């Protein structure tokens, strides 16, 4: 392909996004989709079959068990290689290619592997009460599974994902105890109230300079993509057979450590 021309895959990607939103318009309120915008690198991991995406789109308990019980190192090594290729591609296009900023809740399941394959990485962990995050996650995954099925059981899906993240959070806390210097903590409420301020604090922790142009670009993006421009993501614990008492118990160690609750 011409490195300076438009990627020939863009029309296909735009059509896929349009098809997903046509099948379930509610997705736009849960997870903005844009073929030409950044998204989670779990889509790269998916190519290695070491990804939670398949179990998000369908009820696959056998696959989920296999994924959690097997060494996921090959998937992370594949991700590393893909990022190397993309960085080379950016340089060929004359673009800046100095530092990667990745974002995917998937890494909570494998923080040990993430730091093993990317030993120089700094993990920025966003904290929010599981009483909000778990039903939100379940709502998104049920919506994704509903794209290809008319008989998705939200209660069964919710139990699977709630249990999965409870196990992963416990492992993540143990990994953090081993590598405390490689983690930066931020809180969801602070991101909502002062997103640029939180980014400024992160830059300071990383000893990076936050220039005026980058700050202005962030402000412009926030104005153009404010949450108020999308329908609210509505979900309840009851729809998924979850209770506040059960989630408090399952995530008690995490909430005590990071939410003081």
Nearest to 31 by CA among 136, 119, 116: 136
CA dihedral for 161, 162, 165, 167, sign (positive or negative): negative
Q: Give the pair of three-digit tokens for residue 186.
A: 């931020």
102 and 224 assigned to the same domain: yes
Residues 50 and 90 in one domain: yes
Residue 2 has pLDDT above 70, yes or no: no
Same-domain status, 170 and 70:
yes
**Do 174 and 190 belong together in one domain?**
yes
Instruction: Label residue 231 by pLDDT band (50, 70, 90).
Output: confident
Domain containing residue 7: 1-37
Residues 102 and 215 placed together within one structural domain of the fold: yes
Question: Are 49 and 105 contained in the same domain?
Answer: yes
CB contact at 8 A, 42 and 104: yes
Instruction: Please check whether residues 252 and 234 belong to one and the same domain.
Output: yes
Domain containing 61 — which CATH number?
3.40.50.300
Residue 99 is predicted with a pLDDT of 87
Q: Are residues 54 and 33 in the same domain?
A: no
Q: Rounded to an integer, what is the distance from CA 3 to the centroid of its chain?
A: 29
Asked whether residue 175 falls in the same domain as residue 132, the answer is yes
- Same domain for 125 and 203: yes
pLDDT of residue 5: 65
pLDDT band at 261; cut points 50, 70, 90:
very low
Number of domains composing the chain: 2
Task: Give the C-alpha separation, 166 to 109, whole Å.
Answer: 10
pLDDT of residue 80: 98
* Residue 106 and residue 183 share a domain: yes
Question: Is residue 5 located within the same domain as residue 95?
Answer: no
Q: Looking at residue 229, what is its pLDDT?
A: 81
Gap between the Cα atoms of 11 and 35, Å rounded: 9
Q: Distance (Å, rounded) from C-alpha 1 to C-alpha 20? A: 27
What pLDDT is recorded for position 132?
96
Q: Is the pTM of this model over 0.85?
A: yes
């Amino acid at each position: 392909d011409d490195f300076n021309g438009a990627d020939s895959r863009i029309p296909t990607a735009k059509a896929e996004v349009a098809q997903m939103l046509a099948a379930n318009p509610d997705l736009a309120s849960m997870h903005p989709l844009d073929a030409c915008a950044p998204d989670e690198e779990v889509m790269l991991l998916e190519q290695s079959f070491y990804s939670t995406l398949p179990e998000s789109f369908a009820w696959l308990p056998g696959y989920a068990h296999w994924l959690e019980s097997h060494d996921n190192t090959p998937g992370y090594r594949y991700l590393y290689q893909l990022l190397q290729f993309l960085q080379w591609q950016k340089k060929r296009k004359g673009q800046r290619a100095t530092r990667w900023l990745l974002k995917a809740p998937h890494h909570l399941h494998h923080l040990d592997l993430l730091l093993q394959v990317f030993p120089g990485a700094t993990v920025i962990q966003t904290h929010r009460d599981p009483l909000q995050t778990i039903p939100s996650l379940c709502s998104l995954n049920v919506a994704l599974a509903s794209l290809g099925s008319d008989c998705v059981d939200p209660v069964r899906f919710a139990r699977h994902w709630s249990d999965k993240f409870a196990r992963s959070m416990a492992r993540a806390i143990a990994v953090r105890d081993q590598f405390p210097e490689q983690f930066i903590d931020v809180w969801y409420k602070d991101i909502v109230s002062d997103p640029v301020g939180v980014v400024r604090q992160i830059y300071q922790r990383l000893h990076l300079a936050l220039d005026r142009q980058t700050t202005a670009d962030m402000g412009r993006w926030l104005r153009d993509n404010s949450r108020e421009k999308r329908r609210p993501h509505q979900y309840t614990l009851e729809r998924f057979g979850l209770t506040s008492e059960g989630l408090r118990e399952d995530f008690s160690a995490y909430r005590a450590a990071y939410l003081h609750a």
